[in-house]
Amino acid sequence: MFKYSNTNKRYHTLDYYYKNKFNKKVSKISLNAGFTCPNIDGCVGTGGCIYCSNTGSGEYAGKVTDDLVTQFNEIKKVMTNKWPDSLFIGYFQAHTNTYAPVDVLKEKYEIILKQPNVVGLSIATRADSIDDDCLEYLDELNKRTFLTVELGLQTIHEETSKLINRCHTLECFNNMVNKLRERNINVVVHIINGLPYETKEMMLETIKYLNTLDIQGIKIHMLSILKNTKLAIMYKESPFKLITREEYIDIVCDQLELLRPEIVINRITGDPKISDLIEPDWLIKKVTIINDIDKELVRRDSYQGKKLV
């Protein structure tokens, strides 16, 4: 059995991590706090990342027209029906969730921390959107709740980063990881497989690089081409090769083999809304993709970190 597993999983799942930390099931409640992004509003760029929907990658977050407590309670009902004895983490998901003055952040974060059975916050943001005042507040938060900061990186390759309109550098990302870890704040990094014109070796290079950093978790996504995005226009005008389902499973298994076993795999595939998805259509079968990743690791007699031994 894999070291960080009490099931058939051969990688370090978030569910395993939470159960070992809190001795209970923990559910993340996805929230939309109404933030924007610096590469949308003109601070560093316009238009946002080319793959991002108008929800700011918050397809499963609450309704932005509802206040945060209403959002929290609506999603909590669904989670409680599945897991009646669950604890909760407020997940600020949509857009860039530190891109506001600290007094605004406090208003939004603190109200979720006051909700029953909330044990922490997970805050999705960008490396260029955490100023010194915000860092100081996050440091203080981290001392009184379980805090995770999720940094979108997507790729280490600058040419791809420019193509997708990330509008920040790898150096900026590295600096923020260091600043957060100096304060003992947990860092989870988002990457995307299948970005336009990236090869398998480029995707593996991103993983190899991240494995050298002091990060605590990773989210692995497959590129989704969604309706009403710049990526959809780009794909229609000049189609690029999308990796197949089989290639994705192979790449993810290779990536897992290169990651330190203690790094928690927070996500292992994308989860787009079917009504918005243009390509690849195989993404709609999320559970079978996860199952086939498990099967491929068994076939290889492999596990997370095997190639590091």
The pLDDT tens digits for 274-287 are 899 999 999 999 99
The predicted pLDDT at position 55 comes to 66
pLDDT above 80 (res 1):
no
* CATH superfamily for domain 14-303: Aldolase class I (3.20.20.70)
Query: How large is the average pLDDT for residues 238-244?
Result: 95
Distance of alpha carbon 284 from alpha carbon 305, whole angstroms: 28
Q: Are strands 217-222 and 264-267 parallel, antiparallel or unpaired?
A: parallel
Q: What is the model's pLDDT at position 219? A: 98
SS3 of residue 43 by DSSP = coil
Residue written as tokens 């980063």?
A: 161
What tokens does 89 get?
A: 């983490």
pLDDT averaged over every residue in the chain: 95
Does the pLDDT at position 56 exceed 70? Answer: no
Provide the pLDDT for residue 271.
85
CB 52 within 8 A of CB 59: no
Name the CA radius of gyration of the chain, rounded: 19
Tokens of 257: 């083999």
| Adjacent-strand bridge partners of 149 | 123, 187
Cα(66)–Cα(62) distance, integer angstroms: 7
- Rounded-to-integer distance, Cα 47 and Cα 41, Å: 8
Judge residue 193's burial from the number of C-beta atoms within 10 Å of its C-beta, 0-12 exposed, 13-18 middle, 19 or more buried: buried
Tokens coding 52: 């991002």
Cis before 239? omega within 30: no
- State the pTM of this model: 0.96
**Encoding tokens for residue 141?**
């938060």
| Mean pLDDT score, 165-185 | 97
Which pLDDT value is given to residue 280? 96
Q: Which two tokens stand for residue 137?
A: 């507040």
Confidence class for position 58, pLDDT limits 50, 70, 90: low
Residues 6 or more apart whose Cβ sits within 8 Å of residue 278: 225, 226, 227, 232, 235
What's the pLDDT tens digit per position in 82-125? 999 999 999 999 999 999 999 999 999 999 999 999 999 999 99
Using an 8 Å Cβ cutoff, are 120 and 60 in contact? no
